[in-house]
Amino acid sequence: MAVAVLEPGFLSAQVGVDSADLLRFSTAGSVDDGKSTLIGRLLYETKQIFDDQLEAVERASKQQGADYLNLALLTDGLRAEREQGITIDVAYRYFATPRRKFIIADTPGHVQYTRNMVTGASTSDLALILVDARNGVVEQTRRHALLNALLGVPRLVVCVNKMDLVGYSEAAFEQIRAELSEFLVGLDLQDVTYIPLSALVGDNVVETSANMSWYSGPPLLSCLEDVPSQARQRLDALRFTVQWVVRPLSHEYHDYRGSAGQLAAGSVRPGDEVLVLPAGLTTTVTDVDMLDGALDEAVAPLSVTMRLADHLDVSRGDMVCSADEPPRSSSELDATLCWLGSEPLRLDAPYLIQHTTRRVRAVVSHLRFRLDPNTLEQHESATTLRLNEIGQAALRTTQPLFHDAYRDCRATGSFILIDPASNNTVAGGMIR
């Protein structure tokens, strides 16, 4: 099955909303830990479900022989998901409370769909990792915690779900918290919250549960509402990735020439001095336009059309950046790879690398190590990566890429590798 090529990058934020009261979060966990049920419970309790949707879920629940309202059906939209009771694709949902707006990415738990989970988590500001209270911490729990750490998700909320099936045992909750906390120490995650709950019954989801009086923390929704807004972007310098050149056919605008694209980082105003790469020439921004008119200032992640004072050769794949703080330019990259292809990594084999709007040929010249998601051990003798494996590698490209470290800027610090024969996305990478 071909995997769609995402642009400008598989890790780049595509939701054009930048508001202090907006929180993007994803769900993660093993199969049947209750991710879809939890999201359905949040939508149900916050009155985000239309009557016809609720009626459809009630009918589908009865058809499956359930004697309860199966809220997982609100997010499991594919027929295969409903038949198998698992999440396959990433389901995005929106809901709001009087205090905040939310965008949820309900991601798959099955190891076969790890690449879908990576896609959903890559744009999140917080991750909910669900753990079945009966099964405890399993391999997928560790894997998803590791992936969220690598993707730079700043906060984790560990939801110990199905507490009703272990008699609301405090000991079961504490055992899971202790085991996972020990593992997370190796990932250097500072902001981790643990909440015992039951998504099916509603314990500690929106309201504090009387069944767990030993738990003194807030319910999940309160936790999500109270999480302070925190910009994940460390880079303030301008990074503008050019997607195409705008030359209107209308006689009225026959002199108009602009570079259209997305601000990956920073801001720009008319009058700013900028550097155009790869030309290496400096010029001045004269206008920043959107469909409804000119802007006095544009801030990432807006998509705009930028006009320059000089008639420079600017085309797709070029970058307009801060003249005094340009990105690195190199054909040699050191990156963490999440292997997403069914065929294993082949060293020195030809691949295509999609970085922002720039696509060039590349090879993986050396695999430094493969990372064990259970123990975090680095296997330096490894010579390949297989589906869902993670490693650190050295890459060489045919043309220089203008990049930043992923920890500083996700959009310019990430890329995907593409198999040129099948056009399948085979890996996602984060530049170190």
The predicted model gives 122-142 an average pLDDT of: 90
The predicted model gives 362-386 an average pLDDT of: 93
Q: Is the pLDDT of residue 8 over 50?
A: no
Mean pLDDT of the chain: 85
Report residue 74's pLDDT band, with 50, 70 and 90 as the boundaries.
low
Give the pLDDT of residue 230. 56
Give the pLDDT of residue 362. 98
Domain ranges of the chain: 22-226, 239-322, 328-431
Burial of 210 (0-12, 13-18, 19+ CB in 10 A): exposed
Superfamily of domain 328-431: Translation factors (2.40.30.10)
Give the pLDDT of residue 359. 96
- Short-list 64, 100, 369, 119, CA closest to 224: 100
- Short-list 320, 34, 35, CA closest to 25: 35
Best-predicted range by mean pLDDT (59-68, 250-259, 260-269): 260-269
Q: Which of 7-16, 71-80, 201-210, 312-321 has the lowest mean pLDDT?
A: 7-16
Q: Is the pLDDT of residue 216 over 90?
A: yes
Structure tokens at 265: 């980082």
Instruction: Name the more confident of 211 and 10.
Output: 211
Give the pLDDT of residue 13. 37
Report residue 135's pLDDT band, with 50, 70 and 90 as the boundaries.
very high
d(CA 241, CA 327): 12
Give the pLDDT of residue 123. 79
Q: Which of 14-28, 101-115, 346-360 has the lowest mean pLDDT?
A: 14-28
Report residue 86's pLDDT band, with 50, 70 and 90 as the boundaries.
very low
- Short-list 279, 282, 302, 277, CA closest to 292: 302
Report residue 332's pLDDT band, with 50, 70 and 90 as the boundaries.
very high
Q: Is the pLDDT of residue 228 over 90?
A: no
The Cα-based distances of 96 to 21, 91, 186 in angstroms read 10, 17, 35
The CATH class given to the 239-322 domain equals mainly beta
Q: Is the pLDDT of residue 259 over 90?
A: yes
Q: Is the pLDDT of residue 272 over 60?
A: yes
Q: Is the pLDDT of residue 84 over 50?
A: no
Q: Is the pLDDT of residue 11 over 60?
A: no
Instruction: Name the more confident of 407 and 316.
Output: 316
Q: Is the pLDDT of residue 164 over 50?
A: yes
Report residue 66's pLDDT band, with 50, 70 and 90 as the boundaries.
low
Question: Which amino acid is located at 160 in the chain?
Answer: V
CB 142 within 8 A of CB 114: no
**How does strand 303-308 pair with strand 281-290?**
antiparallel
Q: At what angle do helices 139-150 and 170-185 cross, to 10 degrees?
A: 50
The CATH class given to the 22-226 domain equals alpha beta
The Cα-based distances of 124 to 120, 139, 157 in angstroms read 7, 22, 13
d(CA 418, CA 119): 15
Same CATH fold, 239-322 and 22-226?
no
CB 344 within 8 A of CB 389: no
The predicted model gives 272-290 an average pLDDT of: 96
Cα 221 vs. chain centroid, distance in angstroms? Answer: 21
Best-predicted range by mean pLDDT (12-21, 36-45, 89-98, 197-206): 197-206
